[in-house]
Structure 1
Amino acid sequence: MSTMSLAHRPWWPWVRRIAVWGFFGLIAWLLINQARAIDWQEVLDAMRALPASTLLLAGALAAGSFAIYSTYDLLGRYLTRHRLRAASVMGVTFISYAFNLNLGSLVGGVAFRYRLYSRLGLSNDTITRVLGFSMLTNWLGYLVVAGAAFCFWPMVLPDEWKIDNGGLRILGAVLLLLAAAYLVLCAVASGRVFRIHRYLFKVPKLRMALLQLAMSCLNWSLIGGVIWVLLQGQVAYHQVLAVLLVAAVAGVVTHVPAGLGVLEAVFIALLSHQVPQGKLLGVLLVYRGLYYLLPLAVATVAYFVTELRTRRLRTTAR
C-alpha cells in the first residue's frame, strides 16, 4: 500500500496524531527519568560558579552569531531585487531565527517569515526564494564546518564505546565534497535555472556562494564558541564544535522543538567523560538561556511591536 493511498484513509490522521503524541510522550518520559538521576544542586553550583566575564564573552559571541544570521536574508534580497530596507530584512530574520530555535523551523523559520514579509508587501514567490536561499546558506556552512571537524579533528570518544573515528572521517569527507560540488556548480553554471519539485533555483555566482560559505562558517563557529567559552576551556574547541554539529542534526531529525533534551543528551553522551555531568548540564542550561531564551524574549517584543506598527499603518491608509 502506497503512502498516497494511506493518506486518504479516514483513520490515517488519527494514526499520525497518536504516533506524534506517542513520540513526544516517550521523549518526556526519557527526560523525566534522566532528570531524576541528576544532582541538581551540582548543576546549580556549576551555573553560579561561572564568572561574569565568561558570561559576558559568551553573550557577545551569541550576539555576534545572531547578527550574522540576521544578514542571511540580505543575500536573498540582493538576488530577488526586492526593495525592503536592510534593517527591516534583518529584523524579520532575527525574529524568525529566535522563534525557529525555540519552536521549530516550520513555525519560526517558515511561518514567521511568510507572515512578516507578506505584511511588508513581498509576494509568496519572493518570500520562498529568500527563505530557500537563507536555508541553503545555513546548511552550506554546516557542510564545511562539520566536514572539516569530522575529517581533520575527530572527536575524542568515551573509551567504553570501543569504536574509532573512521566513519566520522568518511562522513566529513563526503560533507566537504558536497560543499565543493556546490561551489563548482556556481563556478561553471552561474545563472542557470533548475527545477526542484515545484520550485525554480537559479544558480548564483561563485562570489555569492563564497560569501554564503564565509558567513555561515563564521556563524556555526561562533555558536560553538559560546559553549566552549562557558566550558572555560575544559574541552578543546574543535571537540565542542563537533559535538554541537552532531546535536544540531539530531535536533533536526527528531523534530523536537528547541532540540529540548536532545542537545543535552548528545553533549552528555559525548563529553561526560571529560566534564562532570552536573557541570556540563549547568553550562548547557546557561547556553540555552543566552542563545535561546534571551533572544526569544527580545524577538517576542520585536514581533508585537512590528504587528502594532503594521496595524497602525493599515488603519492610517484607510
Structure 2
Amino acid sequence: MPAKQNWMKWGKRLFTVLFIVLIPALLYSLARNLDWNEVRESLQAYKLSTLLIGLGIAACSYVVFASYDLLARAYTGHNLPARQVLPIAFVCYAFNLNFTTWVGGVALRYRLYGRLGLDNGTITRILTLGLLTNWMGYLLVAGVVFALRQVKLPDDWAVGVTGLQLIGVLMLAVVAGYLLACGLATRRTWSIRGHELTLPSLRLALCQVALGGSNWLLMAALIWWLMPGDVFYPSVFGVLMISCVAGVVAHIPAGLGVLETVFLALLSGQLSQGSLVAALLGYRTLYYLIPLMAAVITYLVLEKRAKSMRQQRASDAPQR
C-alpha cells in the first residue's frame, strides 16, 4: 500500500511539473503571433460605463463569496457579528485569488479569525465549509453546462464532447449525493484522512450549492460582459470552468497564463485573439488587481484594530 501511495504521489508531481512547463510554452506560442496593437485598441475601446458595470459584477461576486463565511457562522455556531466576518472573508478571497489558497484561504483566516478569539478547530470547520460551498457550487453549474453540451471543444481534444457530457453527469451525481447525505444520513460525522467532517443540515447544504453556483456564474458573467460581439454566455462559462481546473492542477498563483491559454485555445474561433486577450486583461484588472488593492487596505485596518483590541484587553486586565 505505501508503494502505491508513493507512486501516486510522484505521478501527481510529474503531471504538475509537465503542466507547468506546457502552459508557458503554449502561451509563448500564442503570444508570439498575437496582434498586440489590436489588444491595445480593444482595451482603449472600453467605455467607462462598461468598466463600472464590470466592477459592479465583480463586487457582487465578492459579496456572494464572503457570504460563505456567514454560512460557516451558522454551521459552527460562533458568535462573531457579520461586520467582523465579511471583511475577513473579503480579504482572504482577494489574497486567495492572487497568492494561492495557502496564503489567503488558510494562513490569513487562521491569523485573522484567531485574533478575534476563535479556536483552531472552529477555523478549520469554517475553511472546510467554505471549500465545500465553492466546489459544490462548481460541480452543480459546471455539471449542467457540460451535461447539456454547451462547450465546443476542438476536434483534437481527447475528452471529446461526449466525454465532457459524461463528466458533467458525474458532477451532478456528486452534488445530488451530497444533498441526499445532508438530508437523509443518520450518521452526521465522517472521518476523511484523519479529519472529521460533520454534515450540515439540508437547508444549509442547499444554501451552499446556491451561493457557490452563483459566484461561479458571476465570474463568468464578468468575462462575458467584457467580450465584444454576441458571444454565447454558456460557452464562456464552460471555458472558465475548464480553465479553473487547469489552474488548480498547475498550482500557479492567480492562474497566470493558464486562464489565457485555455480561453485562447477554446474561443479563438469565435473572437479575434486580440479582443479576447483584452477582455481577459480587463477581467484580471477588475476581479483580481482592484479588489487586491482594497483588500490590502482592509487587512491593514483589521491588523490595526486587532492591535488596539489587544492593548485594550491588556489595560483592562487586573493589576497585580
> TM-score, normalised on structure 2?
0.89
- Corresponding position: 1:77 with 2:49: no
**1:130 aligned onto 2:148:** no
- How do residues 1-318 of structure 1 correspond to structure 2 at under 5 angstroms? 2=3, 31-32=27-28, 34-158=30-154, 164-189=160-185, 192-318=188-314
Q: Which has the higher contact order (CA 8 A, sep 6+)?
A: 2
Cα distance in 2 for residues equivalent to 1:163 and 1:181? 25
Q: 1:308 to 1:40 in 2, by over 3 A?
A: same
Greater mean alpha carbon deviation, residues 152-161 or residues 60-69: 152-161
Assess, with a 3 A threshold, how the Cα gap between structure 1 residues 194 and 247 changes in structure 2: closer, same or farther: same
Amino acid at match of 1:301: I
Deviates more, 1:120-129 or 1:191-200: 191-200
C-alpha separation between the residues in 2 aligned to 1:210 and 1:160? Answer: 38
**Conserved in 2, the CA contact under 8 Å of 1:190 and 1:204?**
no
Give the C-alpha shift of residue 36 in structure 1: 3.3
Paired residues in the alignment total 309
Partner Cα separation in structure 1 for residue 245 and residue 71 of structure 2: 24
In 2, distance between residues paired with 1:127 and 1:115?
A: 10
The structure-2 alpha-carbon separation of the partners of 1:28 and 1:315, relative to structure 1 and needing over 3 Å to count, comes to farther
Q: Give the 3 Å change call, closer, same or farther, for CA 158–53 of structure 1 in structure 2.
A: farther
Describe the SS at the equivalent of 1:93: helix
Residue 318 (structure 2) aligns with? none
User: How many Å separate the matches in 1 of 2:18 and 2:168?
Assistant: 34
Deviation at 1:197, TM superposition (A): 1.9
Q: 1:124 to 1:157 in 2, by over 3 A?
A: same
SS in structure 1 of the partner of residue 191 of structure 2: strand
Task: Give the Å deviation of 1:203.
Answer: 1.2
Structure 1 pair 186–233 and aligned structure 2 pair: CA distance change class (3 A): farther
CA distance in 1, matches of 2:26, 2:20: 10
In 2, Cα distance between the equivalents of 1:295 and 1:244? 20
- Deviations for 1:115-158, whole angstroms, at most 9, x for unmatched residues? 11111111110000011001100100100100000011421234
Give me the identity figure in percent.
Answer: 46
Q: Is the 8 A contact 1:154 1:169 kept in 2?
A: no
Secondary structure of the 1:71 match is helix
Q: What residue in structure 2 maps to residue 9 of structure 1?
A: none
Write the distance in 2 (CA, Å) between the matches of 1:22 and 1:188. 43
Runs of at least 5 residues in structure 2 that lack an aligned partner in the other structure: 315-320
CA contact (8 A) 1:190 1:203 kept: no
Q: Deviations over 1:223-282 (max 9, x none)?
A: 110011111453101000000000111101110100000000000000000100011001
Secondary structure of the corresponding residue to residue 196 of structure 2: strand
The 8 Å contact of residues 221 and 241 in structure 1, kept in 2 or not, is answered as: yes
Equivalent residue letter for 1:147: G
- Is the Cα contact below 8 Å between 1:191 and 1:205 reproduced in 2? no
- Indicate conservation of the 8 Å contact 1:158/1:273, yes or no: no
The one-letter code sitting in structure 2 at the alignment partner of 1:103 is F
Q: C-alpha root-mean-square deviation of aligned residues, in Å?
A: 2.6
Read off the aligned partner of 1:276 and give its amino acid letter. Answer: S
Amino acid paired to 1:166? T
Cα distance in 1, alignment partners of residues 160 and 194 from structure 2 = 42
